Structure formats: structure tokens, C-alpha cells
Amino acid sequence: MEKLFSHLDALYGEIVDIRRHLHKHPELSFEEVETAKYITEYHRKLGHEVKEKVGGNGVVATLKGDLKGPTVALRADFDALPITEENDFDFKSVNEGVMHACGHDGHTATLLGAAKALNKLKSELKGNIVFIHQHAEELPPGGAKAMIEDGCLDGVDVIFGTHLQAQVPLHEIQYRTDALQASADRFEITIQGKGGHGAVPEETKDSILIASQVVTNLQQIVSRRVSPLDAAVISVCSFDARGPYNVIADTAHLIGTSRALNEEVRTKIEEEIEQVVKGTSLLSHASYEYKYTRGYPVTVNHKEEAEFVMEIAKDVPGVEEIKITEPFMGAEDYSYYLQKVKGTYFFTGARPRGATDAYPHHHPKFDIDEEALLIAAKILSKSAVEYINRHS
């Protein structure tokens, strides 16, 4: 692998330049037209087979080795977030209200650098490598499901991917051999009461009071209806019942998210939320509307593939520590790929040097240490080559 690592070391400056270009020109989920063009052009210059507009704005490029063997997919997402950047470096976003605040610019730069380095080994490659550049990870229904339906995994034997983590120390890799990230669903609840004057509450059905009871009662699902051995989250994140100061609101609207680490608990939560809303509304003689929208499923790694990649990672320059992490209740539509083919997803530490408590993902001052790009590229590239060598 010395030759591969040497190619990547030589490309490090270019990888950083790509990341900074993409960071300066972010595009929102489902609007990533120019980013997709940039990725497409890069792969075409390398001579890869390229499919555009896969499942929307997705790009799939294929490096075919000169020798026959298995097909490995590597995935990176490339959408940005509706956030106004507060950093002051030269490559700060020029698109007002849009920012790469989750590291997807780094993911894309990592994968393009890996593609160029692997291309130099084409004559020795005993199989194929598919580079899946996915749009719209940040906004459900996301891009992964549509890209899979459009054939991005056709012929793929295994898939590997990583997420740069700004709050994980540089040179540290984190993984799990089972559920790594939670499902993420959205619920909307409307309480229909009877409005009226604040001076005569007995003539009303106070939607604010009823909705407040719903918020409180929902927490009983996690504490009393889900086993303490199962992780679950129910968060009401919006409560809207605006009106004049002296009028009891007719209607209250709640929006929130629920998370779980297995599908059984996920389904139970969906059912139990409605039972709580129904019971609370019935007690107060109010009516309700309930809408539950399933987002991304649980991201469940395959044990053999997770252990394989970590075996590779321990010998990668720049990797100093490998840890099994606790499951993360954030969600990721990489989960859809792992439902279709074997593979794994892991975290690459990217905390900026000198920062003891880095800004979190989705923060307007989010940043990463760019050395993490090189480490991630080496792990993904070596994993792809070694998997092909072992299975050809």
C-alpha cells in the first residue's frame, strides 16, 4: 500500500483545494447542480465511466480495473445546509445563507482524491471501484434511497463510507459493528380546541393547555413504555399557538422528532404517540390531527465488514487510536445502502488542532482539521484495494 499512500500524500494539496472550493460554493439539498457538474468533470478527466443525475443530482463514477474481480463502492455526500457562515477564512461561503456546516465538502474532496490516487493503480486493480457521490443527505427523503432505486448499487458487492467528526480528536477513528446511528422520523400534532376570551376560560377548550399536557405526556413513552435497555428519543421542537394576549387559542400545533436504534422501538413510538395524543385530547373534549413521517432508518453496520475496515485503519499513517463508540442518535441515510449490500460506516476524527471543544456540526462556525481528509482517503482507498485483493 506504500504506492497508494504515496499517491495520496502527493495529492494532499489538491484535496485541500477541492474542499475549500466546495466550501466556498455550497448548495442546498436537491439544489446541488454546480457541485454535481464539478464532480462529474473531475471524474471524466480521470477517464472514469460517469452517470449523472442519478436519483436526482447524484453522480456515480466507476473505475474499472484491468483485471476482473469484485466491485467495491465508496460513498460521499455533497449537499450543504441553510446556515449563514460566521467563519472569516478566505474560503468562507459566498452563497448567502448557505454553508457546508457538516463536513460534506470534506467528504467529497476525500473521495475525489481517493479516486485520483486509485486511478493510478488501475493496471493492478483486480476489480472495480464505484464512487457514489450522493446529493441531499441533509433533507429527508434524502438522496440515497432515490439513487439506489436508480441503480447506484447494481453489481456492488460491498460499500464503505465515513463521516468527518469535528468533535472527535484528529487521528482517532470511531466505529461500531452494529447500530451506529438512529432512525429519524418527524411527527406533527394539531390540537383543535375551542377558542375564546381569556377572562372566561370555562367557555373554551384551551388548546395551549391541552397541547402542553401532550408534550409532558409524550415523555412517558420513553420513560414508561420503552424498555430502559432500548435507546429512544421523543423531542417536541416547535409549539405554535400564537394569538392576542387576551384570547385563548383555538388551535395549537406541535412538530417534533423521534429517534430509535431498532425498528421495533421505532414502530412502537409511532403508535404510542398517537395513543397519548388521542387520550389527552379525549380527556379535554378536544379533537386532534396526527401525522407521522418516516425519515431515515437505523444505520446498522455489518460486523465482518466493520472489523475488516478497522483492521485496515490500524496500519494507516495518521491513525493513532481506534475506538468503539456509543451509538449516536443523529441519523444518516447511508442506512439505506447498508440495507441493500454489506458494508460499514465509521467516524474519522477531524477536531481542529488546538481546539478542546470544537464547534458542533450544523453550527455557523463549524470547521474541521483538513489533515482528516488525507486520513479518511487513505482508509477508504486501502479498504477498497485490500477487499478486492482478498475476494478476487
pLDDT in tens, 167-204: 999 999 999 999 999 999 999 999 999 999 999 999 99
Task: Look up the CATH number of the domain holding residue 158.
Answer: 3.40.630.10
pLDDT in tens, 3-24: 999 999 999 999 999 999 999 9
C-alpha–C-alpha distance, residues 74 and 351, integer Å = 23
Catalytic residue among 27, 79, 272, 386: 79
Binding-site residue positions for Mn(2+)? 102, 104, 138, 163, 362
What's the rounded mean pLDDT across residues 234-262? Answer: 97
Same domain, 41 and 143: yes
Same domain, 250 and 312: no
pLDDT of residue 160: 99
**Segments forming the whole domain that contains residue 255:** 183-296
Number of domains in the chain: 2
Omega before 141 within 30 of 0, i.e. cis: yes
Residue 357 has pLDDT above 90, yes or no: no
pTM: 0.94
Same domain, 279 and 321: no
Is position 14 annotated as part of the catalytic site? no
Q: Look at residues 59, 3, 54, 39 and name the one whose alpha carbon lies nearest to residue 381.
A: 3
pLDDT in tens, 152-170: 999 999 999 999 999 999 9
Binding-site residue positions? 102, 104, 138, 163, 362
The enclosing H or E element of 132 equals: strand 128-134
Is position 137 annotated as part of the catalytic site? yes
* 303-313 vs 371-391: helix crossing angle, rounded to 10: 120
Task: Look up the CATH number of the domain holding residue 197.
Answer: 3.30.70.360
Same domain, 10 and 142: yes
Catalytic residue among 137, 185, 272, 333: 137
pLDDT in tens, 194-245: 999 999 999 999 999 999 999 999 999 999 999 999 999 999 999 999 999 9
Beta-strand runs (E) in 309-391: 321-324, 342-349
